[in-house]
Amino acid sequence: MYETEVYPIISKSTRLPQKRFYSARAHSNPLSDSHFPVPISPSHVDYSLHYPQLFPSIGQAGSSKKIQFADVGCGFGGLFISLSTLFPETLMIGMELRDKVIEYVKERISSLRVANPGQYQNVYMMKSCLENHPTFEALTEKELEADPVVKLLSSATEEGQKVAGNGGQAFQAVFRCIVPTNQAS
């Protein structure tokens, strides 16, 4: 029996999960009935569960590798999954509120890892609400123009593609984490 017969959510041609089986209402409040565990801090995350080839055991959680890119409100993960091949040595995470969307992106990442050995090991998806952690500042126009990631915002995300296809304007909000002065090195 083929995997697609057992799991019809997996496409026969691409071997990736099919988005249509992961419906989610946009702008709903999924915080009340979530079944995904949310860590209370980065030090409470078992990175071996999310980046198994980079952190094969719990003991390696103190590794020098740190998450460098966070795609907050990433939707179906188009941007950060595209970035994972552009920056293969950079750990990145997608953050989203909707459970069904998170489930889809996790399946997509797993399928991409199986189909492309050695790739997509640097990405993971989690549930998050950024408003609870207001420690970010906006990049300047000069920084935005020099950043190779910003160029992908209009082409690698579904929302960016929709706006471009409709001839609309894109308004980007790009932030960096503010490092407290007592932690700066």
Q: What is the pLDDT of residues 35-84, one digit of tens each?
A: 556 667 777 778 888 888 888 776 554 567 888 888 888 888 999 999 99
Note the pLDDT of residue 162: 85
Range 81-101 average pLDDT: 88
Note the pLDDT of residue 59: 55
E-strand spans in 88-185?
A: 91-96, 123-127, 136-138, 175-177
Please tell me what DSSP assigns to residue 89.
Answer: T
CA distances from 113 to 81, 106, 117, 120, 121 (A): 11, 11, 6, 6, 7
Domains within the chain, CATH numbers bracketed = 45-177 (3.40.50.150)
Does the model's pTM come out above 0.75?
Answer: no
Q: Indicate if the pLDDT at residue 161 is higher than 60.
A: yes
The helix or strand, by DSSP H or E, that contains position 85, with its residue range, turns out to be helix 78-86
Phi, psi of 38 (to 5 degrees): -115, 120
Please state the separation of Cα 80 from the chain's center in Å.
5
Note the pLDDT of residue 10: 65
Note the pLDDT of residue 131: 45
Note the pLDDT of residue 155: 81
Tens-digit pLDDT profile for residues 104-155? 899 999 999 999 999 999 988 877 654 445 567 778 999 999 998 888 887 8
Note the pLDDT of residue 85: 92
Note the pLDDT of residue 4: 41
Note the pLDDT of residue 116: 93
- How many Cβ atoms are within 10 Å of 72's Cβ, its own excluded? 17
